[in-house]
Structure 1
């Protein structure tokens, strides 16, 4: 880690001030992306409130909304050139609550509480895995050598995607009204699998690694329009299909990253 990274890293106590930027506060242009991050946090935590009331559809949709907001705050920060370490830390804290703790509690109340001990362990495993993944991300912010990132890939399943995948049984339960999808013996192992995928070291697709060729970009726009319509007409089947499609693409990401690694080895050896 560089000296700058060491200065900007987490402190031993919150009252310790960094060596630079003392008392400057946030710039005006940094307010908007951070406000969106806080809105995402509020949406995720509101999902817990809906779950306590037994309103499962609203609970899931609130966390899905948090994921959508999380997807745009960083892009707006880059657009406004308002990227700050404060924003990065706030984003990770918000993600841990919205996509780790909130889904764990919602799924526990929805299904896992029928097996109080094993169900709670499954919920804890998911929440802890999300926190560990985000801690790993923060620890690597200042690391120069990141093979996955330099190739345009992510390491493991990102937290918002992990939350979306964890809710797949809920999507299917709402769409089919089949109580089988609510069985804690299915939901618990499913959450454990997603938890492992989040903290794994496998390469997964990022937006930058998915760049359609110019020859098919009109088709991509057409498909995006159909997907948006499907979300309006059949949201639960569509969300389940998106999640299953994401899982199906994971082996392809491993193959593509393997090719990138091979190309790098060939370039290093002059092959």
Structure 2
């Protein structure tokens, strides 16, 4: 007699909250396209930034309520691909790259596809035991939310300066292509979630967060510009730090002392 096939289990109730936040991030990213179609560029950018905030929350909520699931991981990757790949590509194309219809559209496609490739590589490596970058506390390439924020750097500069040069397709196209390369590259970048503050530095960290929040409220676009520049400046240091970790790992272990 054939054994009954076990029924597939549904999504546990505790996974509802993180999955709902992920869905909100997806809605936020898609709403950015809606604002871009009507020429409301600041609102379009804010929707992508809001999606980034929600993306940073959903994983922590899932761990807090123990609601991690394979479904949630797949939904998160799909939402990230749209919110930080497709949506920024379309926003930037409608804003500047449409002045070069063929080249601009190719660059927008490259950015969106490279973002999807990065996320696919991340998903494929979830069950891989040996991940040198991750085990050393680094990421491989620039993560998708950070990539979206960096790709929109010309928009930030245009908002606060009003200079038309920042909206030039000849400037924006190579910049977006460069950020797309950083996302799929094998460069080691810092993983902020793996950083641990010393107890003596926690008070100073709170001060930095308060100052940063005040700056974002009073001068958001200038502050975002500074954050992007600071993040890019950390990449050479992260590459050097990972190279140092590799050298230490490759160094032969010291020989044990002779027995008495």
TM-score scaled by length of structure 2: 0.94
The gaps in structure 2 that reach 5 residues or longer are 255-260
Q: Within the alignment, does 1:258 sit opposite 2:249 as a pair?
A: no
In the other structure, the counterpart of 1:187 is 172
* Deviation, structure 1 residue 21: 7.6
What SS is found at the alignment partner of 1:194? helix
The aligned residue for residue 163 of structure 1 is 148
Kept after mapping to 2: 8 A contact 1:153/1:208: no
Instruction: Pick from 65, 76, 79 the counterpart of residue 91 of structure 1.
Output: 76
How far residue 257 of structure 1 moved from its aligned partner, in angstroms, is 1.1
Name the larger-Rg structure: 2
Normalising to structure 1: TM-score of the pair? Answer: 0.90
Residue of structure 2 equivalent to 1:115:
100
2:46 equivalent in structure 1:
61
Counterpart for residue 218 of structure 1: 203
Question: Does residue 240 in structure 1 map to residue 225 in structure 2?
Answer: yes
CA distance in structure 2 between the partners assigned to 1:172 and 1:212 by the alignment: 32
1:115-140 deviation per Cα after TM superposition (whole angstroms, max 9, x unaligned): 00000011011001100000000110
Counterpart in the other structure of 1:35: 20
SS in 2 for 1:83: coil
Correspondence for 1:175: 160
Instruction: Give the SS at the match of 2:189.
Output: strand
Structure 1 CA distance, aligned partners of 2:108 and 2:98? Answer: 10
- Specify the alignment match of 2:56 in structure 1: 71
1:181-222 CA-partner distances (Å, limit 9, x unpaired) = 000000000000000000000110112343232222111110
- Aligned with residue 123 of structure 2, among 138, 152, 162: 138
Matched residue pairs, number?
250
Secondary structure of the residue aligned to 1:264 is: helix
For the aligned residues, what is the CA RMSD?
Answer: 1.2
- The alignment partner of 1:226 has SS state of helix
Greater CA deviation, 250-259 or 123-132? 250-259
